[in-house]
Amino acid sequence: MHGYFLAARPCGPLFSFQSGRLLTRSAVVHLLTDASRHAVLTYKSVKGHSFYIGAASTAAAAGLPDWLIKILRQWSLDCYQLYICTPRNVLLSSALRMAVDSSA
């Protein structure tokens, strides 16, 4: 696995390889695939869309407004909503709250 680092510069790319080459999306997917393969995980399921799902879901869970989630990935349509995964515990607690509220 190639070495990479978090840049200490105030502007420019956040991550790059020690060689100075930029850490691209395809390089990250390749690194994750290799790491998953070495960890005996299902490496074939590691795709670039995993980042879309993770970013949109994390932003929504953090309470970011929809317009900001769209800007973060430069989505022009509301398709980002397809990437938001609602955690199971949120769904369950919502169902319980609806059941309690409807019985009152």
18-72 pLDDT per residue, tens: 787 887 878 877 888 888 788 777 656 666 677 777 788 888 888 888 888 888 7
pLDDT recorded at residue 97? 85
Contact 80, 72 (CB under 8 A): no
State how many domains the chain has: 2
The kind and range of the H/E element at 95 are helix 88-103
Residue 9 has pLDDT above 70, yes or no: no
Verify that 104 and 58 share a domain, yes or no: yes
Verify that 8 and 21 share a domain, yes or no.
yes
pTM of the model: 0.49
DSSP string over 30-43: HHHHHHHHHTTS-G
For 77-96, the pLDDT digits (tens) are 777 777 777 778 877 888 88
Print the domain residue range for 61: 48-104
Contacts for 67 with CB less than 8 Å, ≥ 6 apart: none
Asked if residue 80 lies in contact with residue 73, where contact means CB atoms within 8 angstroms, the answer is yes
